Chain A
């Protein structure tokens, strides 16, 4: 790890490599990352931070590529943070989002893409994400796109760190009752039916619009019901309209107040769970070091005791 002073200087000089190293610091040592961004102060320019979430394979990365192109067209500098899950078996990860966001002629100065492993965090994001967003903003990226892990119902942490959340759905999602369930569905600012050229899209649109129009959940918390938009990320169909709609919502002061209310509710929830999360990444990094007894039919009690002891050792170290 480079000395903090050279990291600070590199950030000040706008070096891409320093930014990348600073994001690593936020991932590896969230406390140190927090201290670093606190020192940097507030970013000089306003930014638009957008979260893209939805199930595995629904087209998040591909839609993000299309949104990047829209943002670049309007002269913005774009930062992307794309989270993929870490393995509960090895702690490793295959980070495959940027694979679909290839824009060969755009330099990192205008488009900075960074893949993050969730490192055991289960809310669809990673612990370093919030600091990563602030680092990108500080470096002058005025559009920041966040891609969550594949997300269904419980992975809603992204809502806390972005301005707006797009929930991507596609034909096959299910009926109105699925839309009535708690979690992500009640927190998204915009519902997007992606892969909209598939048959079944219109049916889903009717179900979602009917749900949005008749549900009391939005009004109860002072929220505005989300619009339902159609896109096809691969061909770009509907993407300029989505981008426009998002930009308009982002500028809307009344909407901001309403979504601030949502954030208050979520912050209360988050405050209670932060403590538990803190240790998780550290513990997961030890996963591969803890041997598993070769005999799968042997009782697990002894092994579990040893693993717990190791976990306690890490916890003790963290406390100090």
Chain B
């Protein structure tokens, strides 16, 4: 339904406790009309997937700054698939080396946003994805 707000879970997974970026994104998306749920820091992939399912979000954004993305992002995507929630679109952001991005894409992470990304770029991704396009950032 086009008039229903889009829901997004902003997640911190693993031991990474740097959440200024996650909080910034959560607020920026709130200001663009999205309903944003923030997980808080140091959640397990299992917890994050449970939250995504019970909150019935359309998107799950993972913020990673300390190198756990190669393990944790694929794990979250895999668990979503396993629970029949593979339609929830996973994207990631933070400090993620360019060389890691193809593997994340292959694991089901639809887009990866690095430093310097604007809020407009993220919103454009969300809108394009909602519209059914599979353009990745």
Q: How far is the CA of A86 from the CA of B34 in the complex (A)?
A: 10
- Which A residues touch B84, using CB under 8 A? 17
- Which A residues touch B50, using CB under 8 A? 107-108
Known A92-B29, A92-B31; judge A16-B53 contact (CB<8 A): yes
Judging by beta carbons under 8 Å apart, are A94 and B38 in contact? yes
Flag whether A200 is at the interface (Cβ < 8 A). Answer: no
- Which A residues touch B31, using CB under 8 A? 87, 89-90, 92
Those of A234-265 within 8 Å (CB) of chain B: none
Q: Mark A102-129, 1 if CB is under 8 A from B, else 0.
A: 1010011000111101010000000000
Q: How far is the CA of A215 from the CA of B1 in the complex (A)?
A: 49
Q: How far is the CA of A239 from the CA of B37 in the complex (A)?
A: 27
Judging by beta carbons under 8 Å apart, are B39 and A112 in contact? no
| Residue from the list A1, A20, A27, A102 in contact with B53, Cβ < 8 A | A20
| Residue from the list B1, B34, B47 in contact with A28, Cβ < 8 A | B1
Those of A1-38 within 8 Å (CB) of chain B: 1, 16-17, 19-21, 23-24, 27-29
A-side interface mostly = mixed
Flag whether A76 is at the interface (Cβ < 8 A). Answer: no
Known A92-B29, A94-B36; judge A1-B1 contact (CB<8 A): yes
Q: How far is the CA of A251 from the CA of B4 in the complex (A)?
A: 39
Those of B1-28 within 8 Å (CB) of chain A: 1, 3-5, 7, 26-27
- Which B residues touch A17, using CB under 8 A? 53, 56, 83-85
Q: How far is the CB of B42 from chain A (nearest CB, A)?
A: 9
Flag whether B133 is at the interface (Cβ < 8 A). Answer: no
